[in-house]
Structure formats: structure tokens, C-alpha cells
Structure 1
Amino acid sequence: MAELHEGSKKDRTGVELFAGAGGLAMAVHRAGFRPLLFNEFAKRACETLEANVARRLPDDQRPTSAPGPGERVPLIAGDVQNLDMGYLAGQVDVLAGGPPCQPFSLGGVAKGDEDKRNMFPQLFRAVRQIQPKAVICENVRGLLRPSFKRYFDYIQRELELPFEERAEDTNWEQHYESLLERREEEPDDPKKRYDIVMMPVNAADYGVPQIRHRVIIVAFRRDLNVDRELFKGLVKRTHSETALLRSMEEDGDYWKRYPSVPDHVRERVIARLPKTMPIDDGLLPWYTLRDAIAGIGDNKPLPDVPDEWLDRTEHFLGGFTEHIGWPGARIYDGHTPNELDRPAKTVKAGVHGVPGGESVMLLDELVADEATPGSVRYKHRYMTVRETARVMTFPDTWELRGPRGEKMRQLGNAVPVALGEVFAKAVAAVLDEAEERQK
């Protein structure tokens, strides 16, 4: 449980659905919410949760009461549709989860609400059962596509009025119109109505060394009268590309941190800087892939993987687990690598392997280019699982279970811990403020 919490002032509680590898769960509980329940469907992700923080219950067993402080978190492995959470009613401060995003992903089949993998209805059912004080929901930016706009509006209205259940013989568009009408009426019970904040975000703007565009929806139970403007102020971005570019000028702080970077690398990066540098915005620089590998915060530098260790074998480089070399990395049109001096590209969970080169990176070393005699190119290789976990801001102590492909899938489906933590801490702060105000 050490990775899940930093001493909270109050005994706040949380439930995590669609928990995956535990990124959002870790973020929420670092913000001071004691976990009462995890649910996850994927086998390997369940193994990861069990290896780190959870006590997996037998398939025929369901909890009947909430765990106490210090007790291991119960994990229900399986379909959320078979999970009854009514026993937690009135005991949960925050319900968190990212319903499976494939229906809305730019890289998915984009069937939207017609896709059976759409688990938003199960999130709304959980809200009805436990009536949490707040809900944190993360999903892909694909929800903002014009083709999904009306349905995304419908999702937000359902989260506002989760107790207005959709009749079985009613399609979503009919229910949407009904919700719009009910929304204009004062609720009989404000505990059954929620006020929401929806924000498109780029994880790089919140201290994550990765370009990752997502949508975060946060809902607050209306009877609490939470200050949503205060919340918005607490989740403003803290890092920027402008600050990174300015730090990369000839005598910039970025190069002072990395004096051993070869001249040809530094010159290549500086040559691509804007001729007219943007005005200082007062924010911190985006973190880069080099920052992630060198170690952000208390993380120690990851050692490079020697050529002879690109063999799928765990060599425990520097004592780090899951830092395993993998052969066969290629670069070609449409499959371009990460560069060390930029935030990493979006970590993806590809169904048939990861497209686009997101798991490949360029190194600092120049080697002979066999395709063009007499010329050189930058050496490249696959990123290790541990390097990818750092890009997702998972701690080095967090164990991932399963073969390499499954570990990468778990990371691609996860919420970056640093991003989730910003929003979870803001939720905790405004709940504290609201409760103090109501005393």
C-alpha cells in the first residue's frame, strides 16, 4: 500500500472501476483517498493490481463491507456488469475510472454508443448505487470528434442526472431529450444530481514526459455545493512547450542539466528552434524523454541497454526490473521514433502491435547508414517496459505482470499517475473547502 497514499488529513475513501494497471488508482490514493474496492476485467491487469496493492477475491465471493484502514484492497476480477456496489452506499468520497475507450478512440473502430465495449452506462449505475461525493472520469480525446459531439453531450447529461434511468425501449437520443428537459427542473433531492467540469488536457502540460491528449470529466454531488471555479484554478496547466523551447537555447538550462549530450545532438535540436522565440509564459518546461530516462524527482537514471542485451532477457540493469532490451526495432515512413529531447509520443495499447513508432526511440549515437553508403544515421532501439512506465510516470517500484506485449498494453491503457494526481488532489481540496464552509 506504500505506493497508494501519502498521509491524508481526513479518512477519505475511493472506489476504482476499470482499474487497469492502477495509474488512476495510484493517483487518487496518493491524493489521500483510501481505496475500498478495485474492479478490472483484463487478466494481466488484475495480476498487476494483485502484485502491488490488491487482495483478489475468489470468483464466487463478493465483499459485503468496506475494508478498514490498513487492510488490503479487495479486487473483484471480472465484468463490472456483474458487480453490485450497493453495500458501499454513503461511504465513498470519490468514484474514479476510465471506461474502456476503444469505442471512441481515434485509432479504434469508432462505433461510439453502439459498441458493446462502451462502459459508460456501468459508470452511471455505480454512481446510482454508491452516490459518491465526486466522480473522476478520464477518456480519449476522440470523444470530442464532431461525429461524437451529440453523444458526448448525452454522456455528460447522464452523469449530471444519473438517477434518471433510461427505459429499455428508449434509444439514447430519446433519453437525451428527456434529460435536457429534466435538467431545467430543480431536483427533488440534490444528492441525486451532479455538477460537472469537463476539460480537454495534454498530459505534458501537467508534468508528464509525454504528449497525451485526453478528456477528463469531474462531477461533484450538488448537495455539497462545491466551488467549481476553485477546482478549475487548481487544475490549471503547470508546464509548457514554450518554456521547454526557451530552455533549449544555446546557453539554456536544459543543456546545463545534460552537459554530456554530444554536440551534434545539441546542434540538431537548436537548429530546429523557432527563429523568433515565444514570450516567456511563466510556466515550467515540458519534461522530455531524456528527462524521464535520467530520472524525474527522486528517480535514479536508467542505464542504457547494450547491443548484446537486445535479447528479450532480463539482465537487471542497474537493479531495475522490466528494463529489458528487445530486438527488431525499425524506422520507416509512418513509423517514426521518439526523440530524446521531446516529450515522448502517446503511449498506445495497439490491438495488433503498436503503430506509428511510439515504442521506438532515437539514441545519441551515430552509426553507419547501411542504406546509404558513406552516410551516418542515429542509432535506434525499442524502448524498454521500464522506460515506457516512466513516460507514464509510474514509480519504478510498481510491478507489471504478463509478457512484454501485455505490459505495454497495460501502460497504453493507463492514466499517467502525475496527471491523475493533479486532478485527484484538486478534488480533495475542494471537498475539504466545501465541508469546512458548511460547518
Structure 2
Amino acid sequence: MVSGIFTCDSSRSERTTFEGLQSIELFAGAGGLGLGFSLSGVGHQAVVEWSKHACETLRTNKRHGVEPIAHWADVTEGDVRDFSFSGFDGLDLVTGGPPCQPFSMGGKHRGFLDDRDMFPQAVRAVREVKPRAFVFENVRGLTRAAFYNYFNYILLQLEFPSLQAKVGEEWLDHLARLEKNKTKGGKSEYHVVTRLVNAANYGVPQKRERVFIVGFRADVHRPWTFPAETHTQDALLYDQWVTGDYWERHKVSKRQRPEQPAKIEKKLAGLRESDLSKLLSPWQTVRDAIADLPDPEKKTSQSVQAHKFQPGAKSYPGHTGSPLDEPAKALKAGGHGVPGGENMLRRPDGSIRYFTVRECARIQTFPDDFIFDGTWGEVMRQLGNAVPVKLAQCVAGSVCELLRAT
């Protein structure tokens, strides 16, 4: 199936062979987006990242032969503004997550005034490489009202990348030229679509909203739509509070189960009368993600890399941790160390602790053999900035399916 609805297939997670498609991975971070594309059969001819810690993470995994990073090009450590795209003309894909801090809900919200805004470099990559397709992702904050005009500016630049800003031209003036070009019937160089998605709706055990911008070169003549959602909250509630299968699966006795929230009774009444054949898979919860890991407060397992208890977790208003039996709240990177309330587990009895690095990796759907080395705060920052691998793989699989058919 090339056009129409693409459904993510978890069986693809073992796939590491490359079937001809090649990409440049920009702003690679810890490699979440790049892993999603590699697991969909894409080889990375170049990998670019400025953070020395993230680069060391990628090098460590490559050095130890961790698949599929073992087959990636050596990471280029440095500012993408200094990277030359010469020799990559016509490559299949350009992918990446331009630094999100300028648009993050938890950041300083400077957007295009922030010198960390790398969308101009994403546009440059598309203009100079002329890939068959591109995929960029960013935080939900990019779609905020304060950035509405700039978001449209990004999209129009990606649609008409060759219509560059003139020397000294303000971005609003450039936006006006792009708008005039589009409305007078200028031929689109890329067909661009964007979608705000919740990772939990694609089987990631985390409520993480991300914006994806996907573009296909105008000569790629096939319809495409974002992959269909595969998981729902309704199915989880049904599993927990109608059939109880969720608790049975995790061997949670009735005495140990939390009380059913009173506020969902009306929803449950509707679910009891619904057509169960229309329910998708249940949202994945924190318990689903980490149940087979030893409790780091009670037992240290040398067989589980990066699974060490970290003391000092504190709960405060608005930052109370992630409930065990729901998808985690969005993991955050934090500008000054690990955010206290966001990256914590909250058990049914109300007790809390920090997630370990390995638990965060599970929540971000990184493979268990992926190596995280470095200080706790730095590794958690990498994970907080990462794209969930499973979500990336869903998008990559759909995009690559279309490219292979054209």
C-alpha cells in the first residue's frame, strides 16, 4: 500500500537492512529520528550534531557495533551552518529535528529571535541537496499563536526553497514575497504537509506531542497522508476498568489496584455499549514499558545498562510525576539539569522517584542495547530532547514506502 492509510507495524522493529534509500540526518541528537529511519531501511550518508555529548553517545554505539548505528556514517560534530552539502545532490532524504528550545513551551519562547533557531539551515539543506523528500520534527510550541506567522514562513520556504531571502531582507518581507509567489500560481518545488501528533496514539508509552513537517519533491507524483493512529486512551480504559485484562496481564491483585477514577464513569458507560471491533490498541503505560525491569531502589542489576537509582526526587504543584498506569508525561530536557517533576515515576500509593536512564529510554522506545554513557543529567537531557524511536519509525515507514514505489 502506497497511497491512503499507512498503519505502523511493530514487527518492523527488527529490520536493519538498507534497501537503497539514503539520507542526511541533521540535528541528530541521541539518534531517535535517525534510528526510526534506519529501522525502515534507510542508510545515513551523513550525520550531523553539534552537542559533544550526543556525538559521543552515537560514537559509543557505533564503536560497540550496536545496530543499526554500526552502519551509520561517522557523526560530524559541529555547527550545521558550517556543514557543506556538496556531493549530496539528489539524495533520497533529508531528516532532522532542528533545535526546539526557541519554540519550547518550557523555554524562553524567543523563536526566530533565538540564535539556536536552525530552521534556516533545514531550508538550506533542502535547497542545496534537493532531496526526493524531507522530514523535520519539532515541539508543539512551534504552532503557538505567537509563532503562527513564522511557522507559515517555514512552510513556504520549504515549498519554494529556491526563492531565497535577499541580503539584508527582513523575514516578514521575505514572507510577503513567498506569499505573492504562491498566490500568483508559482510552481511548488515541494508538496509540504504538517501534522501535530501525540506519540501515545502510536504506541509510545508517553504523552508527547510533536509537530512533523513532511515534504515530497514535486516530481514524486503519489498521494500521501500521515500514518493512521494505532492506539487510543479509550482502549486502555476499557482494558483497565471494563475487562480488567490490563491488571491481570501485569498480575496486579485487586487489593493493589488503584481506585477507578470517578470522573471516567460516564466514559466507561459509553465504552461498555460501544462496538469493540472499532477500538484500536490500548495506550501503552509506564507499567507496560518498565514492568520487567528490577526496582532500582531495591535491587541493582548489573545486567541492565544505565538502570541506577537516582535520589532527590521532589514533588511540587504542577510537577507530580507520571502515574504508573498511564503513558508518561512528556520527558523534558531542562535547561539547568533534570526537571524535578516531569521525569519522575508516581506509584499508586503516591510515592515518587526519578526514572532511571534505562526507564526513560524505554519510555522513548530506544532499544535496550542502545548505550547511554555520561553524567545522569547530560544523558537525561539527550533523552528529553529525543524523538521517540517508535514514532519516528511510523513516519519513516510511510514516507519510505512511497519513495520506494516511485
Same fold (TM over 0.5): yes
Amino acid at match of 1:238: T
Partner in structure 1 of residue 232 of structure 2: 240
Amino acid at match of 2:321: P
Contact 1:54–1:72, Cα closer than 8 Å, also in 2: no
* C-alpha separation in 1, matches of 2:63 and 2:396: 20
Cα pair distance change 1:417/1:145, threshold 3 Å: same
Residue 270 of structure 1 and its aligned partner are, at CA, apart by 5.5
Task: Kindly tell me the number of residue pairs found equivalent between the two proteins.
Answer: 384
Say which SS state the counterpart of residue 208 (structure 1) adopts: coil
1:211-230: per-residue Cα shift (whole Å, max 9, x none)? 001110100000111312xx
Say which SS state the counterpart of residue 322 (structure 2) adopts: coil
* C-alpha separation in 2, matches of 1:267 and 1:117: 44
Tell me if 1:251 matches 2:243.
yes
Q: 1:337 aligns with which of 296, 301, 321?
A: 321
Q: 1:263 aligns with which of 237, 250, 254?
A: 254
Contact 2:97–2:136, Cα closer than 8 Å, also in 1: yes
Partner in structure 1 of residue 294 of structure 2: 303
* C-alpha separation in 2, matches of 1:184 and 1:102: 32
Residue 85 of structure 1 and its aligned partner are, at CA, apart by 1.1
Contact 2:59–2:74, Cα closer than 8 Å, also in 1: no
Partner in structure 2 of residue 387 of structure 1: 359
Tell me if 1:218 matches 2:210.
no
Contact 2:62–2:71, Cα closer than 8 Å, also in 1: no
Contact 1:53–1:73, Cα closer than 8 Å, also in 2: no
Contact 1:303–1:318, Cα closer than 8 Å, also in 2: no
Partner in structure 1 of residue 4 of structure 2: none
Partner in structure 1 of residue 6 of structure 2: none
Partner in structure 2 of residue 319 of structure 1: 303
Contact 2:338–2:377, Cα closer than 8 Å, also in 1: no
What is the 5 A alignment of 1:45-84? 45-53=54-62, 72-84=72-84
Could you list the runs of 4 or more consecutive aligned residues of structure 1 that deviate by over 6 angstroms after TM superposition?
Answer: none
* C-alpha separation in 1, matches of 2:152 and 2:236: 35
Say which SS state the counterpart of residue 201 (structure 1) adopts: strand
Contact 2:102–2:112, Cα closer than 8 Å, also in 1: yes
Residue 54 of structure 1 and its aligned partner are, at CA, apart by 7.4
Tell me if 1:273 matches 2:273.
no
Residue 356 of structure 1 and its aligned partner are, at CA, apart by 5.8
Say which SS state the counterpart of residue 135 (structure 1) adopts: strand
Q: 1:37 aligns with which of 29, 41, 46?
A: 46
RMSD across aligned positions (CA): 2.2
* C-alpha separation in 1, matches of 2:283 and 2:255: 22
Contact 1:400–1:407, Cα closer than 8 Å, also in 2: yes
Larger Rg: 1
User: Structure 1: 5+ residue runs without aligned partners?
Assistant: 56-69, 295-300, 310-314, 367-377
Residue 332 of structure 1 and its aligned partner are, at CA, apart by 2.5
Cα pair distance change 1:184/1:154, threshold 3 Å: same
Partner in structure 1 of residue 180 of structure 2: 181
Say which SS state the counterpart of residue 44 (structure 2) adopts: strand
Q: 1:361 aligns with which of 345, 350, 368?
A: 345
* C-alpha separation in 2, matches of 1:147 and 1:15: 31
1:174-213: per-residue Cα shift (whole Å, max 9, x none)? 101111122245567x7xx100110010000001000001
What is the percent sequence identity of the aligned residues? Answer: 42
User: Structure 2: 5+ residue runs without aligned partners?
Assistant: 1-12, 65-69
Cα pair distance change 1:267/1:106, threshold 3 Å: closer
Contact 2:233–2:283, Cα closer than 8 Å, also in 1: yes
Residue 363 of structure 1 and its aligned partner are, at CA, apart by 3.0
Residue 267 of structure 1 and its aligned partner are, at CA, apart by 4.0
* C-alpha separation in 1, matches of 2:169 and 2:205: 44
Say which SS state the counterpart of residue 200 (structure 1) adopts: strand
Larger relative contact order (Cα-Cα within 8 Å, sequence gap ≥ 6) = 2
